[in-house]
Structure formats: C-alpha cells, structure tokens
Structure 1
Amino acid sequence: MSSQNPPQERRVVTEIPGPRSRALQERRAAAVAPGVSSVLPVYVTDAGGGVIVDADGNSLIDFGSGIAVTNVGNANPRVAERVKAQVDRFTHTCFMVAPYESYVEVCEALNRLTPGDHEKRSILVNSGAEALENAVKIARYATGRDAVVVFDHGYHGRTLLTMTLTSKNMPYKQGFGPYAPEVYRMPMAYPFRWPGGREDCGPQAAAQAIDQITKQIGAANVAALVIEPIQGEGGFIDPAPGFLPALAAFCRDNGIVFVADEVQTGFARTGDLFACEHEGVVPDIVATAKGIAGGLPLAAVTGRAELMDRIHAGGLGGTYGGNPVACQAALAVLEEIENEKLADRARAIGDIMLPRLRALAERHPAIGDVRGRGAMLAIELVEPGTTVPDAALTAEIARRCHAAGLLVLTCGTYGNVLRFLPPLVIPEHLLKEGLDVLEEAFAAG
C-alpha cells in the first residue's frame, strides 16, 4: 500500500482500538509521559486523502486533519517530492548561521498572501505558540507598551506567555502558574451565548470590550490585541459580524498592534486563504502555523515592515526556525492551495456539510448551535431547550463515531463542542459517508 494514496474507504475490521494498537498503547504507557494525551489511541501506519489507517488495518474517515494541519492531505505528493529532494541536499544549517533561499521564498510568499497590500516582513519559527510569543515581543518592542489584550474562550498555546493568553484553565493552565504579567481578558462575541441575542452581539460585544480596555487598562498602555478570527480550541466560535472590524478600527485609532492568530484558521481552511479576509480585516501582524507545511513543524510571523524592522539584529530567531525541509514543504503546500483551488474546495465542503448539520440539529434538540465557515465547522451540544453545556453527550457521540470509523474532535471551554476539520482534499463520497456516521451516532442515543 502506498502511504501517499491508501484506498479512500472506511473499513472497520477490528474493534477500535484493535489488538495491535492496544499493545502499542501498553508500550506507550511505559515510555511516554501521561501528560501527553491522544484523542483516539489507534496507531497510524498510513494516511492520505480523507483516511487514516491503523496498525490493525482499520481505515478511518478523517474529520480532524491533525487539528487543521494536513489541509492538503497527510502525504501530499507535491509535499513529499519537495521534502525528499531537500533531504538529499541538506537537512539543516541554521538560517542564522548560513542562510538558504527557501526560507526567503516562504517569507516572500507570506508577505504577498497575507491580508493587506502594505509592505511586510516575515520570520519563520517552529510552532503556533512560538509565533504568538514573537508577535507579542515585536508589538511590545515597537510600541514601547506592555499590556496585551486577549479574549474569553481564546486558545493561543502552552508556553508560559501563550498559556497566559489562553482562556481555558483545565488542562492547559491548571497547576502551571504563576503566569505572565500584563495580560487582560475581554468578552468574546459568542453569538449563541450572548445575553442580548445574536442580532446585537457584534456591536455590543465590541463596545463592551472597548469600554473595558479604555477604563481598566488605558488604550495608551496596550501594545497588542491578540485574537483568533474564529476561535479554535475555545469552541469554533465565529464572532458575530462587525466585532472584528470594530476592534481593528479601535486598534488603528489608538496605536495598538492588531495581531490575528490565524494558526488554525489559515491556509484556506475557512474558505478564504485567511479568515480575516471574510470581513476585510487587515491585521498589523499575522501568526500562522498548522496548515502551513503539510505536517512538518513550521510557523511564521508576518507583519507591517515598520513594526518588524524595529527589532535589532539577533532579537528574533531560533535554531530550528525555518528549517529547510519544512520550508520546502511549505512552498509545496502553497502551490497545492493555489493550483488545486483549495479555498474554493473548503467552501464546497461547507456547502455539503452545513445543510446536513442543520438538518441534524432540527431532529436533535441537544444540538444548540451549528456554526463555522468553509471546512471549519462545529456543533454545540446542550441540554435541550437551554444553553447548559452537555459535555457527557459530546464525549459519547465522539466515542460512537470513533467506534464506527470516523475520527472527530471535541473542543470548547465547556467540553461540549464537536468540531469538524476534514482535509481539504477529502473525496466527496467520504465526506458524505462521514456525515452518515455522525447521524447514526446521534440516532443511536
């Protein structure tokens, strides 16, 4: 079986996880720290297109994409070809020691593709958390200010600063304090849970956040406002219309650096190349990772030249940042997105999934909300007729899906959201079959 093209079919031949995966899980328990968890302990041997194949020969439909990483597939031929060629030449020199062209090419592409036609500069790092750390560093240095504004339900990483930026305590923050100073959290425009209702959510939430920033911090003290255009781990919360533009305007009027955390939303996932484009928001700095390199570790910070150029030589960087193998993977990903029109494909996935999810919600009152854009969609489960989260039902539906050969992920501050992130290259028949499995999981209750 070619690892680049396993048969595009759901196939369940053992219970999930099967005996080989269970044996590997025993080895893992003796070797790997338990603080590293897994959604589903099946051990992967092949993956590609819309499936992952485990050690027992089960083939599962993939609605997770490695948490929005394998947008172009797990073993995209264009990515594999570039990576193999680069490995034959060299794997590392450290760009800060002896640079290479592919790092420059990736930065040129990001400067061209991220929102806005202003002059930009980029740096390459290893992870989304590292990108956010550097975005805040740059904003503080360039503005001479200290305060950073983030939003309820947001997730930005696991390092000291980024877990401080992150809203959810368990499991990301519990016991890991004290946290970084000068971080302030504001209300999020969460339409499903906004007290004033969906229609007024965007303007009201923006006005409330701006009022609190002004009164509690002082706009002149804020270096950066950091926000996910659609929140990821916090529950796939798509902010109400008008919220992001109002915040961007406030930042522009007060010299605050608007930082868009596009780590999960970037690279065509939402139907636009970047989620900010949906409402025409142009960030001062964009942090990217996940989908940038087809599964290889790479992330980036792209910002206005007048901000990025302020930092002294040596103030930014890292040993592995912009590794040449990962850079070649990123160039292949960007070619794939453009050549295969994957932003259009993401919208087509949404056009298939959203009507099915909304119809499912009509039949099952435990589904309180259906939301998202493109191939970044979610349903929120509650006690029927209320907004009371039902995390237990969410976990049970996920378990039923897994047992039937569909990999789905959960998320949300309350643990009550099922999120769907199929690869943008998933065949349509698998997409529809995955939705069939989801419907059967609800019907079994």
Structure 2
Amino acid sequence: MLNRKPICGFSKTQFLFFTLVLANVVLVSSKSTIEPCSNSDSCNAMLGYTVYTELKVSEVASLFQLDPIAILTANAIDISYPDVENHILPAQLFLKIPITCSCVDGIRKSVSTHYKTRPSDTLSSIADSVYSGLVSADQIREANSISDPTVLDVGQNLVVPLPCTCFNGTDNSLPAIYLSYVVKPVDSLTAIAARYTTTITDLMNVNAMGSTSVKAGDILAVPLPACASNFPKYASDFGLIVPNGSYAISASHCVQCSCGPGSLNLYCMPASLAVSCSSMQCKNSNLMVGNYTVQQTSAGCNVTSCSYGGFVNGTIVTTLSTFLQPRCPGPQKFPPIIAPPSSVISDSIFAPSPAPQSDGVGSLTPRSSLVPVTGGSLTGLPPVSGPVGSASDACSLVNPLATFLIATLPFFSLKLIFAIL
C-alpha cells in the first residue's frame, strides 16, 4: 500500500496537483513549422544553434557536415585569425548554421546531417543537448527505424532530420532566408520579432499561428532579409542567398559575398583566404571581381563594374557591365566583422551537459587584435540571457520523484492518483 504521509513536505493535495501538472506537460508537445512541398528542389536555409559545451569551430562544423569557414562567415566572424578552425567556442554561444533545405516525403527538411554515437549518448541527449532542441528523440528514432531507443550501438551512424523552410526564398515578395529558431524559456513573440527586425504579424503569418503565444521548445521559421544571387542554374552555387549582415564563401573559397548593411544588393569580391583560384578578371578590362569605375557626366554617373556570376565547372564566371545612375556610388559598406568569441557572460543556471568524452580544453586567446564592431548588435552572441534561478533546499526525493512521474505519465498517472486517494 502506498504511504499516505506527506512526501518530502508535500501534502496529499499538493502531490495530486503536482502529478496533474506534470501529466499536462507531458501531453503537450512543442510546435514546429512544417512547409509542404511537391518537387525535388532545394534551397538555402539556416538553423539557430546554441553550442552545448566548449567546442572547436571544426567540431561544430562536423556536427552538421559543413565547411568551418561557412559557419564563420555566416556569423560575420573574422576568418583571418591564425588557426581559426581550431578556435574554441564557448558553451551557450548562439550561431546561425547554414544548411541545404530539401523536399523529403512531401515536407521541407534537411537530412544531410549524420551523427556517430558515443558511449554516453541517448536519443534524448543527442536531440536536446547536442543539437539544442532542433530535433526530437522521436524524430531521430523514426528517421533511423530504431525499434528500441534504449539501445544504441557505439559508433552507430544516425541520420539527424533537421527543420527548415524555404517559402520560395521570399518574404512579402522580398528576398529572405529562413532561420529555424528554437524558442527559449524567456522568449516572447514580441522579443523575437524585434531581435530579427520583423513584425509579430509576419511571424504569425509565416508560422500559421492563431495567437502570439509561444513556449520553450517551439521551433519558429523566422524570415531574415537577404541578398539574393541571380547565378545560372548550371552554376554550383545557384540560388546563393546571404542574410543581411552576413557573409558567404563560394567558388572553392575563392569568392566572398556579403549583404548589407543598408543595402540588399549582393556584393562579391575575392576572398581573403590564400587558395589557388581561377582568373577573377573581367574580359576586355583590367577590373577584377568587385571592382568598379565611375565617371561623372551631365546626365548622371556612368558606372562600370566587374561582377561575380557564379562558379561553373571550376571556373569563376565574371560579368562586365556599364550603366548610368543619378549619383556616383560611395565606398562599399560591409557587415561588421567580430573576433572569434571566446567567452559569453550568462546568468543561466541551466548549464549544458558535458560533451561525451569531453577533453576539457579551455578557451583559446585570440592571437591577433580584435576587429572593432561598428553599429548593430554583435552577431553570434546569444539572442537572450538564460533564465535566472537559485539553488533549491528541497529534499533529495523531489527530483527522483519528478523523474519517475515524467517517465511514467501519461499511462500511469491515473493509477497513481487513485492510489493516493
């Protein structure tokens, strides 16, 4: 017979209420925006990812099978730092991760990410910690046809289906790239809209929301204003789109394209990386990609420019064009670049779980001076501070009890309630 005495300070009524609250939490699932699709095309998208423990840039990149430079440029982080790919990023750092969004089984998702399991992994720890809630344990289980989620072989190669949306690369008929954002406990729709320079109405329309209510764990598609390319379909970087305030690397690290600030016209120029590249000079001119000349006339300003036209069969396509505009352009403005982050101040008590087989290496100190940031917020810093709390004096039975209830609800909640009564 179940002991009817108060459990660790809980009265019978309080315990019953606690059980009902937990049952309600278990029965409510997080929401995610789903975009139906009917063809096999793909698009560029982004994930809002929170680094769960100290990781090298290359380790974060390997979680998503990406080029480390692509992650750095997407977050406007200086790629000229020595050995930047091995720079250690701090836990709780928020990053925008560029991904390819495909059409799979009639909905938009990314299935190009694979994860090799480690000894202490569970499906829940992979979903909630390693991939910061961008995917659920059930989605990983279904994607890999796992019959018993409690048994994972070390070294098992898992497909990690990640959320993404395209919506034709536009928002209100303007170029946009969509960020899949996991709602934090302290978030509100108003704050999210303000942070990403959009409106509550736009977020509600994009995510088919009936109200402004959001809860932790929901995944919202957030439109980011962007610069779109017009490269031909046969170019390997066809469909390149760069969010405002960011960079993208292309043409085998030879070309770097940027967007903004103050303009949504894509601007491409030779990248700063020391690599072997094909010619970037426009034919019949001495201009290189990104160069332009101006000539003031009585009718306005004649501008001759050498533009990047895509990467085709290992060749950098260039386009020379001359056009008349009312005023001569000023110097090209670039998105502010920041140094690779080494620490993030956070008041959150919900620190991430340690990485399986973590080596415990501390943060590296940048070996070159910081790049000053002018205007705007620091790209790459967490969008919000974590919830603030204090240590509890509750007895040791409380946490095991809650764990038991969560594990057994909703199937055994009624049985437990009747036993208490």
Fold conserved (TM > 0.5)? no
- Larger RCO (alpha carbons 8 Å, 6+ apart): 1
For normalisation by structure 2, the TM-score amounts to: 0.26
TM normalised by structure 1 equals 0.24
Q: Which has the larger radius of gyration?
A: 2
Kindly indicate which of the two structures has a greater share of residues assigned to helix: 1
Which protein has the bigger strand share?
A: 2
